[in-house]
Copies of this chain bind each other. A is one copy, B any other.
Amino acid sequence: IEVSKLSFKPASTTRQELSGSTFRRVRRVLMVWLPGSAIFLPNGARIFNRLVEFLRKQYVRYGFQEVITPTIYKKALWAKSGHLENYAEDMYTVTSTSPSRAETTEAGEEDEYGLKPMNCPGHCLIFASQTRSYRDLPIRYADFSPLHRNEISGALSGLTRVRRFHQDDGHIFCRPSQIEGEIRKTLDFIRLTYGVFRLGSYRLALSTRPEQYMGDLEDWQQAENALKRALDASGQPWTVNEGDGAFYGPKIDIILKDSDGKEHQTATIQLDFQLPKRFNLEYIAPAPELEKKGETTTDPDLLAAYGPVAPVMIHRAVLGSVERLMALLIEHYNGKWPLWLNPRQAIILTINDTEPVKRWAKHTRNLLLGISPELNVPASPTNLADIDLDESSRGVGRKIHEAKSKGYGIIVVVGPKDVDEGTVSVDATSLIPADSDLREIRRLKTLKMTPERLR
């Protein structure tokens, strides 16, 4: 039962959180909702991929390594992780559709898989796949795998049942002495990310040791003190939920307040003293008895004796459920996307549909996207992911109006005069320029459009 505390809020509550009209708009252009899981249409997939791309860049900064892990694992693994005991209600079982293809265990019974509801066991397997030294730690793994849970989050409608969602999931394996530093870095990662989204203020809530806990009291107290120091250092307001932690460790929740004052739990940081023990994870360190307590020594005798120590595991998600964060962003931006997230970043419009103008429009698109006929990885001079093209014969005024109402950030207009002079007109008036957007516009405007540069 307690393992379910690891669970993040379900993705599909977004359907209820969204107001009717916004939801209908979302449904139309970004996603189609099947009961419990979303199909991302092309524009929705663009936003999803840009969020992933953004996080990947931050992973370079914060020292996370992305891994790609299986979707299904044998039931034996879920027994080892404790999920079968504590989380079975919310899990799906995978079996062969055809009895003749069923795998059998050595004992002869049919073997089954569990569809993963979280990535922690997979990341433990990777940690365990090599011998680790204290010098290797912290080791930080990130994973964007789709996750499946059979959670019932409300009795009103079958649509609120969660089935499939994505999480910007990550696990840090660290030495006890590194807890405070890792929590500080994670809080900084969260501050940076929510600052980029401009989603407004959030508060942090620390959940401490419950009455039913596992592990040493001393470990708990040291870890909670480390978390409190990191929270103080974050400069964010924080509160305590006394006794509300999981049996395996304290946690910090990030609670975002939207413009209506409604609160949303998004990011989570969860310490875990137990899972590393279930998986027999260890690293080799000098003075292991002190190492376990996060203490150091200069005593050469103690330092000469190396031994195994269980790492502390930190589960963390910065966005939480990507689907749910996307729903918050959709509400928040209300169609006025910052350029980097805008699924409709740029469009090229022709003043007429004559051949030279259409050719010039295509050349401009290829130039801006770095598309050349060479056998090569395109090297784009801009950061635009894609550029649409409207070369229809309709009036340019109507085309501009339509492009603006569809939410295009940058509108490039080309006409016969541009063909002669090697120019284009860039209209970026519908942008709410963030710094990065301004940089993009400047880059666009200073690009030389001369035919020599076109292929």
Binds B, one of A63-71, A218-226, A299-307, A411-419: A63-71
Size class of the contact patch on chain A? 35 or more
Asked if B94 and A100 make an inter-chain contact with CB atoms under 8 angstroms apart, the answer reads no
A66, A125, A386 — most chain B CB neighbours (10 Å): A66
A97:B114 contact, CB within 8 angstroms? yes
- Kindly state the separation between the CA atoms of A376 and B376 in the bound complex, as whole angstroms: 29
Task: Indicate if the CB atoms of A61 and B371 lie closer than 8 Å.
Answer: yes
Complex: A340 Cα to B69 Cα, angstroms: 23
Contact A101:B150 (CB < 8 A) given known A61-B378, A94-B94, A377-B340:
yes
Q: How far is the CA of A32 from the CA of B90 in the complex (A)?
A: 28
A113 to B383, CA, bound (A): 40
A432 contacts partner chain B, Cβ-Cβ < 8 Å: no
**Complex: A131 Cα to B161 Cα, angstroms:** 29
Known: A32-B129, A195-B375. A97 touches B101 (CB 8 A): no
The chain B residue sitting closest to A100, CB to CB, is B89
The residues of B that contact A48 with a CB separation of less than 8 Å are 68
A377:B152 contact, CB within 8 angstroms: no
> Is the CB–CB distance between A67 and B41 below 8 Å?
yes
Contacts A377-B340, A436-B376 given; indicate if A67 touches B40 (C-beta within 8 A). yes
Complex Cα distance, B438 from A379, in Å, reads 12
For A66, the chain B residues whose CB sits under 8 A away are: 42, 45-46, 49
**Shortest Cβ distance from A89 into B: residue:** B98
Q: Which residue of chain B has the shortest Cβ distance to A87 in the bound complex? A: B97
- Which of B67, B71, B93 is close to A146, meaning CB atoms less than 8 Å apart? B71
Q: Are B45 and A68 in contact (CB under 8 A)?
A: yes
* Nearest neighbor of A145 in chain B, beta-carbon distance: B146
Q: How far is the CA of A39 from the CA of B196 in the complex (A)?
A: 32
**Judging by beta carbons under 8 Å apart, are B96 and A126 in contact?**
no
Stoichiometry, copies per complex = 2
Interface residues in A44-66 by Cβ distance below 8 A to B read 44-46, 48-49, 54, 56-57, 60-61, 65-66
Residues of B contacting A240 in the complex (Cβ-Cβ under 8 angstroms): none
Q: Considering the complex, give the chain B residue whose CB is closest to the CB of A36.
A: B70
Q: In this complex, which of A60, A73, A378, A385 has the most chain B Cβ atoms within 10 angstroms of its Cβ?
A: A60
Chain B proximity of A358: nearest CB distance (Å): 16
Q: Is the CB of B115 within 8 A of A94?
A: yes
Q: Is the CB of A95 closer than 8 A to any CB of chain B? A: yes
A284 — which chain B residues lie within 8 A by C-beta?
A: none
Residues of chain B within 8 A of A38, CB atoms compared = 68, 70
Interface membership of A435, Cβ < 8 A: yes
Q: Specify the chain B residue showing the minimal Cβ separation from A67.
A: B45
The B-contacting residues of A in range 326-342, CB under 8 angstroms, are 340
What 1/0 flags go to A167-195 for Cβ under 8 Å of B?
A: 00000000000000000000000001001
Q: Complex Cα distance A164/B113, Å?
A: 13
14 new A-B contacts at CB < 8 Å, known A60-B371, A92-B113: A37-B71, A38-B70, A39-B69, A40-B69, A42-B65, A46-B66, A49-B56, A57-B378, A72-B115, A88-B98, A93-B97, A97-B114, A196-B376, A376-B435
